[in-house]
Amino acid sequence: MYRWAILLFVSFQSWGLSLDDSLDVAISAFQLKGNVCDKSSPPDPNNLSSLGKIFFERPILSGDKDISCANCHIDNKALADGLPLAVGVGGIGEDKERLISGGAVVPRNAFTLFARADERYTTFFWDGKVQMADNEIYSPIGEGYSMGFESALSVAAILPLLSRDEFLGHSNGPYNSNSHVELLENQYFNDKVKAQNKFLQDLLKDTNDADIRILVQALNNAEIAKQNFTLSVVGNALASFIREKVKVTCEPSNWEQYINGDKRALTEKQKEGALVFYGKGRCAACHSGDLLSDMNFHSVGVPQGTQGPHMFGQDLGRALVTYRTEDRYKFKTPSLISVSKTAPYGHNGIFPSLESVVKYHINPMFFYRNPKVTDEMILKNNESLASRSEVLRWIKIDEEELVSLLKFLETL
């Protein structure tokens, strides 16, 4: 559908309309509502958000009590971490300090959490391993609703808790262990949930720990009996907290203000960039709708790094979930909400700037002309490059259009 909108729009542009008039056509062709930062949404009905705050900010759910969500989804980094690849258990501090701290590397670039509680946000993680479709929540631990999770976000929010490098620990040497790792490591699918539920029950017994006493108090306040304290409660509470946090801290972006009628919210250059985005740049063929993602999977042929979730250090993307050859190197179209604040870019954080990631969509060759790129790296990217979406071949924009496009991305 969006491809038709682009064709229609590219031909409209040649009618000699003003920038604002052309953009009005784009806004209606792409059915943009400008309502991502929605301050008026109803407060969370079960009032679980203060419980979720405890899980988000305190390291109580990690095997070695050394990590919480807030270590990687950081307030002053637009709820991402600013690193190419995230650093999990055993990591210390932020930024460079964390990179060199010897913590376990999580081989993907962290997402911001803005807009994740929006009901149009249906596909989570770079490979879409949690996805809402046909009123079911597909996930590696089974169907979400049937286990008491209230949304795809609440399932996505607990998956890090089940992963060794993000929460379970231990990072100092591959064979080190703790009781939490031992409890979960050998379990598969929803048996992991049962094991984690046991961990949660045991946790409540540790009343010498001040954080646990705060947790017990919060469970009382939310009128949740101890024996009902399960992983789905944690997920629903985290989802409530994320929804509230984003609602309180979001500001309507300049683009959102523009969609809502404030024609001065964008500069002339940014308006020109918006026209490129919705027109000949064809960005909106994939980065569509108000969330700037079609919630679908495509290959941009992003260079493989040296670390990936596959056993050969590669990242096969969507194929890790579907096991289909044609899905190799496809990744979820990332939402571009707040994108100028979430560098570095790409599923493995290989692009330091917006300019480099956008250029790579258009013509990847500049990347390989860098003297630091070895023949071996080029060979390794053979398959990934060959899988590039054919839509990308039709993006033909000049230097000046690229400059205005980048200015537009700053307004999102």
Residues that bind ligand HEC (CB under 6 A): 67, 69, 71-73, 86, 88, 106, 108, 110-111, 113, 116, 124-126, 153, 156-157, 160-161, 166, 238, 281-283, 285-287, 298, 300, 302, 331, 333-334, 336, 339, 342, 345-347, 354, 357-358, 361, 389, 391-392, 395, 405
Closest approach, Cβ 73 to ligand HEC, in A, equals 6
Report the distance separating Cα 359 and Cα 402, nearest Å. 8
First to last CA, the chain: 23
Between 54 and 265, name the residue whose CB sits nearer to ligand HEC.
54
* SS3 category, 332: strand
Phi, psi of 283 (to 5 degrees): -60, -40
Asked if residues 219 and 237 have their Cβ atoms less than 8 Å apart, the reply is: no
Closest approach, Cβ 355 to ligand HEC, in A, equals 9
Q: How, if at all, do strands 105-106 and 123-124 pair? A: unpaired
Phi, psi of 410 (to 5 degrees): -70, -15
Closest approach, Cβ 330 to ligand HEC, in A, equals 7
Phi, psi of 86 (to 5 degrees): -75, 155
Between 266 and 392, name the residue whose CB sits nearer to ligand HEC.
392
Closest approach, Cβ 45 to ligand HEC, in A, equals 20
DSSP-assigned states of every residue in 338-395: TGGGS-SBSTT--B-SHHHHHHHHH-THHHHTSTT--HHHHHHTHHHHHT--GGGGG-
Between 204 and 264, name the residue whose CB sits nearer to ligand HEC.
204
Between 34 and 282, name the residue whose CB sits nearer to ligand HEC.
282
Closest approach, Cβ 85 to ligand HEC, in A, equals 7
* SS3 category, 286: coil
Report the distance separating Cα 320 and Cα 303, nearest Å. 17
Between 219 and 285, name the residue whose CB sits nearer to ligand HEC.
285
* SS3 category, 206: coil
The angle formed by the CA atoms of residues 86, 81 and 322, to the nearest 5 degrees, is 50
Closest approach, Cβ 332 to ligand HEC, in A, equals 7
DSSP-assigned states of every residue in 94-143: SHHHHHTTTPPEESSPPPP-TTTTSTT--EESTT--EEEETTEEE-TTS-
Among 295, 282, 345, 264, which residue's Cα sits nearest to residue 133? Answer: 295
Closest approach, Cβ 190 to ligand HEC, in A, equals 18
Between 86 and 275, name the residue whose CB sits nearer to ligand HEC.
86
Between 108 and 208, name the residue whose CB sits nearer to ligand HEC.
108
Amino acid identity, residue 6?
Answer: I
Closest approach, Cβ 87 to ligand HEC, in A, equals 6
Between 157 and 183, name the residue whose CB sits nearer to ligand HEC.
157
Between 115 and 265, name the residue whose CB sits nearer to ligand HEC.
115
User: What's the Cα-to-Cα distance from 279 to each of 5, 18, 168, rounded to whole Å?
Assistant: 9, 15, 46
Max CA-CA distance within the chain?
Answer: 73
Closest approach, Cβ 201 to ligand HEC, in A, equals 18
**Helix (H) or strand (E) run with residue 297 in it:** strand 297-298
Report the distance separating Cα 269 and Cα 267, nearest Å. 5
Closest approach, Cβ 294 to ligand HEC, in A, equals 8
Between 259 and 284, name the residue whose CB sits nearer to ligand HEC.
284
Between 219 and 291, name the residue whose CB sits nearer to ligand HEC.
291
Closest approach, Cβ 269 to ligand HEC, in A, equals 15
